[in-house]
Amino acid sequence: MKITLESSSKKFKETFKKSGELTEQCQGIIPGGFSRRTFFYGPHAVFVERGDGAYIYTADGKKLLDMNNNYNVNILGHNHPNVTKALMEAIPKSYSFGNPNMDLENQLAKILVDRIDSIEKIKFSCSASESCHSAARLARGYTGKTKIAKMEGGYHGFTDTFEISAHPSPDRFPGPAERPIALPDTAGIPQNIIDNLVILKQNDLAACEKVLRENAHDLAAVFLELQSGAGGLVVLDKEFVTGIRAITEELGILLVIDETVTLRAGYGGLQGIYGVKPDITVMGKMIGGGIPIGAIGGSAEVFSVVDNDQVQISGTHHGHPLSMVGGIATMNTLTKEVFAELDKKSSRIINEVNTWAQSKNYPFMMYGGYGACIAYAFTDEPGREIKTHRDYWSYADEEKLQIYALEIATRGFFPVHRGQFSLSVPMTDDEITAFIETTKDIVDGILK
């Protein structure tokens, strides 16, 4: 039987009926129903009661294989014994101080410094949004320049500096693709901040070089994600990134790589796989083991302006003991062997699904895979390449993406509804097989 948006929505509302009721109740007090706007999943959010291993258990009594994992945070799944044990040992000692708590910050900082070649110094915060903000301040303070550049479609948090040109769509494509114009994603951002943001085209080195050279005299830093996914998923070509690194070094512009998500790509992050060394790295999500955290790391030279207090970065909960404890336990669990197993799982899904889709000549694909973060897309034609976020929003079929997301949730798998999956360590080969076969069945139902 043909699967439609109407049939999938009806099935979703029936399956998660209590979640729908809870969403409605919460909207009376909290704008939108909850403090994270990304919780909405089609008709309403899916409320969860608990998580264990690779699964979440919803308020509706449903058990779902968690392929969202709090938007890539829970690389070890839920309630991992190493992390839980470390947190439970820390809590009785109290967990909020106006003092440094033992050497927890130093321990987590040392783990990250030892793993990531580009990092010599680190400052922690409470979120990656904060850390992107801190990285911009650091870059401006070090260079004495004002403007920041970022890729169109790149997401670096919700602060005024960066919630600009993060979610392009066909009706919001200001300027030509080679020279995008900065466009705020929300009201409330002052014009002077918009004017100080330079927007670049992903995977087009010639276009980027022209814009960077024109703005070099006032450009403090270029921010980029090696694999971005706030609206669709786009992977930057290694040659493009290497070229940007060379241009920024020549022009005296700092390169900031936002590894909030992609640090889970490998033992040394995705920058280690690409073989590129930025001046500043932004981190977050998994490095706190599920407890709120953010961090910036970089060379001792760039961080000298923080050491001498020329640039100030500080907050009440920065370096929070529970974030440090959760992060230490998580990072120590993530060995090179663990990363290799995750890569094997994501490669299997992408290869098997794409081979099947190609045999059917379906305009459906799975791609990405770095850090076991997989994107899926229904496009306008088989074999369509996604090189920029403009490509994604121009060629992806949003209605079919929504049908798939609703349908797979009712069948026991919970993805990121905007076209992505995030794998976790506890997932088994049998669960991966079940996911692949379920995907085939749904795509058949949509496209046949």
Claim to verify: residue 157 and residue 278 sit in the same structural domain: yes
Contact by Cβ (8 Å): 442, 404: yes
Beta bridge mates, 396:
379
Final residue in a domain of this structure, among 265, 299, 333: 333
pLDDT at 1 (0 to 100): 76
Asked if the model's pLDDT at residue 305 lies above 80, the reply is yes
Per-residue confidence at 174, pLDDT binned at 50, 70, 90?
Answer: confident
| Structure token pair of residue 261 | 């998500």
The whole-number average pLDDT for the span 81-88 is 97
pLDDT digits (tens, 9 = 90+) for 26-42: 888 888 888 887 777 88
Strands of 247-390 (E only): list them: 254-258, 280-284, 294-298, 364-368, 373-378
Alpha-carbon span 108 to 346, nearest angstrom:
28
Strands of 10-85 (E only): list them: 48-52, 55-58, 63-67
Per-residue confidence at 72, pLDDT binned at 50, 70, 90?
Answer: very high
447: left (phi over 0), alpha (psi -120 to 50) or beta: alpha
| Structure token pair of residue 112 | 């990250």
Per-residue confidence at 63, pLDDT binned at 50, 70, 90?
Answer: very high
* CATH number of 236's domain: 3.40.640.10
Claim to verify: residue 169 and residue 48 sit in the same structural domain: no
Give Dmax (Cα) for the chain: 67
Claim to verify: residue 346 and residue 321 sit in the same structural domain: no
Claim to verify: residue 153 and residue 175 sit in the same structural domain: yes
pLDDT at 175 (0 to 100): 87
| Structure token pair of residue 42 | 């089609």
Claim to verify: residue 53 and residue 37 sit in the same structural domain: yes
Claim to verify: residue 96 and residue 159 sit in the same structural domain: yes
pLDDT digits (tens, 9 = 90+) for 339-380: 999 999 999 999 999 999 999 999 999 998 898 999 999 999
Claim: this prediction has a pTM higher than 0.75: yes
The whole-number average pLDDT for the span 80-97 is 96
Claim to verify: residue 88 and residue 36 sit in the same structural domain: no
pLDDT at 170 (0 to 100): 78
Claim to verify: residue 270 and residue 352 sit in the same structural domain: no
Final residue in a domain of this structure, among 308, 333, 358: 333
Per-residue b or e along 268-307, where b marks 16 or more CB atoms closer than 10 Å to that residue's CB: bbbbbbbebbbbbbbbbbbbbbbbbbbbbbbbeebbebbe
**277 — phi, psi (to 5°)?**
-115, 110
Alpha-carbon span 166 to 158, nearest angstrom:
10
pLDDT digits (tens, 9 = 90+) for 112-169: 999 999 999 999 999 999 999 999 999 999 999 999 999 999 999 999 999 999 987 7
Alpha-carbon span 151 to 390, nearest angstrom:
11
Q: Is 244 helix (H, G, I), strand (E, B) or coil?
A: helix
The whole-number average pLDDT for the span 7-36 is 91
Claim to verify: residue 168 and residue 311 sit in the same structural domain: yes
Claim to verify: residue 176 and residue 253 sit in the same structural domain: yes
Asked if the model's pLDDT at residue 230 lies above 90, the reply is no
Give me the amino acid identity at 168. Answer: P
Claim to verify: residue 56 and residue 110 sit in the same structural domain: no
Task: DSSP for 85-148, please give it.
Answer: HHHHHHGGG-S--SS--TTHHHHHHHHHHHH-TT-SEEEEES-HHHHHHHHHHHHHHHH---EE
Contact by Cβ (8 Å): 67, 435: yes
Claim to verify: residue 30 and residue 130 sit in the same structural domain: no
Total tally of structural domains belonging to the chain: 2
Asked if the model's pLDDT at residue 247 lies above 80, the reply is yes
Q: Percent of the chain, pLDDT > 90?
A: 88
Q: Which domain holds residue 225?
A: 83-333
* Neighbour count for residue 332 (Cβ, 10 Å): 14
Alpha-carbon span 254 to 37, nearest angstrom:
32
Final residue in a domain of this structure, among 303, 333, 363: 333
